[in-house]
Structure 1
Amino acid sequence: MSVSMFDETLPRGERDGVGLRVGAIIDRGGEVLLLELPSTGPIRPTRKLPGATVEPGESVTGALIRGVEEETGLTVTDIRHHVGDFEYLSPAGKPVRRLHFEVEVESPGPVVLSAHAGYVWAPVDGDDLSVTSSVQKILDTYRELVYP
């Protein structure tokens, strides 16, 4: 699907008091890129998909491209699938909807991190990806979509 198709069908920025965030599934031959948050204690933090907050007036596509580049240094060349969404409350108690997409990147490396402690290329069918249950459901949907 072309990048502009998503901009025609999805909202910009915050809508109806719900903040929008985007997450990118970057697949390298059956492995997905997961970012590791800094750890300050004995409990290993969960991993996350690259992404960004959709700023007011910004398109979903623009936020997705910007977020991947800012967090990983990788350049998005195509958006392939809208995989799914989930909602949660931000630390400030505001509702957030996170939209997830499979994206193509110019090259899967080198990954250059800006705000994360590390990254892994994890098998999409792995048992312990160390992600939240919501992200695990998105990855399960992705696996069923792409690797039936």
Structure 2
Amino acid sequence: MVSASELEELARRAEVDGTAPRVGAIIDRAGQVLLLERHDSGPRKAPLKLPGATVKRGESLGEALVRGVREETGLVVTEISHHVGDFDYLSPDARPVRRLHFAVTVAAFEPIHLSAHARYVWAPLDGELAVTSSIRAILGAYRNLADH
């Protein structure tokens, strides 16, 4: 289980590095991970994403993670079990962002109620996932963690 002090240190490092923290949740159902599909209006299909949220001012990483999963899927996080990894990128308005990813346990895998996405899929971790290379690396790290 990830401790409050670990979460605080990750948030502090993001702040020191000048990055805005975002959180992503890996929800594993017997080797399948929950991925969300954005509403697509362009000619190219957007990659699938993990549920998550932008951390609001005054909110802890854990609070943001629980809120983001609840808001995007309706699922209730009961435990943050592992910090899996993170990556930095520039937001569309060119601000540095750090996306921190955590394996979580949820009270139940259904029902899923989407608020801002077109659909969801339970995708096998050992399959070819339609995600960005950064998310693919995070899921690879998670797979390695789960194997040990």
TM-score range, shorter chain: over 0.9
Specify the alignment match of 1:26 in structure 2: 27
Specify the alignment match of 2:137 in structure 1: 137
Give how far 1:39 is off.
1.1
Query: Relative to 1, partners in 2 of residues 1:141 and 1:7: Cα closer, same or farther, differing over 3 Å?
Result: closer
Aligned counterparts, 1:1-148, within 5 A = 1=1, 4-11=4-11, 15-16=15-16, 17-127=18-128, 129-148=129-148
Q: Distance in 2 between matches of 1:48 and 1:2?
A: 22
Whichever structure has more helix as a proportion of its residues is 2
Task: Give 1:139's aligned amino acid.
Answer: L
Task: Give 2:75's aligned amino acid.
Answer: L
Could you tell me the percent identity over the aligned residues? 59
Q: Tell me if the contact between 2:8 and 2:60 (Cα under 8 Å) persists in the aligned partners.
A: no
Task: Give 1:109's aligned amino acid.
Answer: E
CA RMSD of aligned residues (A): 1.5
Structure 2: state its 5+ residue gaps.
none
SS at structure 2 position matched to 1:10 = helix
Q: Tell me if the contact between 1:52 and 1:66 (Cα under 8 Å) persists in the aligned partners.
A: yes
CA-to-partner distance for each residue in 1:34-88, whole Å, 9 max, x for gaps? 0001111332110000000011111000000000000000000001110000000
Q: TM-score, normalised to structure 1's length?
A: 0.93
Give how far 1:15 is off.
1.6
Structure 1: state its 5+ residue gaps.
none
Task: Give 1:21's aligned amino acid.
Answer: R
Q: Tell me if the contact between 1:52 and 1:63 (Cα under 8 Å) persists in the aligned partners.
A: yes
Q: Distance in 2 between matches of 1:99 and 1:35?
A: 17
Q: TM-score, normalised to structure 2's length?
A: 0.93
Q: How many residues align?
A: 146
Q: Distance in 2 between matches of 1:53 and 1:43?
A: 25
SS at structure 2 position matched to 1:48 = coil
Query: Relative to 1, partners in 2 of residues 1:3 and 1:67: Cα closer, same or farther, differing over 3 Å?
Result: farther
Q: Distance in 2 between matches of 1:96 and 1:124?
A: 26
Query: Relative to 1, partners in 2 of residues 1:109 and 1:131: Cα closer, same or farther, differing over 3 Å?
Result: same
SS at structure 2 position matched to 1:116 = coil
Task: Give 2:15's aligned amino acid.
Answer: R
Q: Tell me if the contact between 1:24 and 1:100 (Cα under 8 Å) persists in the aligned partners.
A: yes
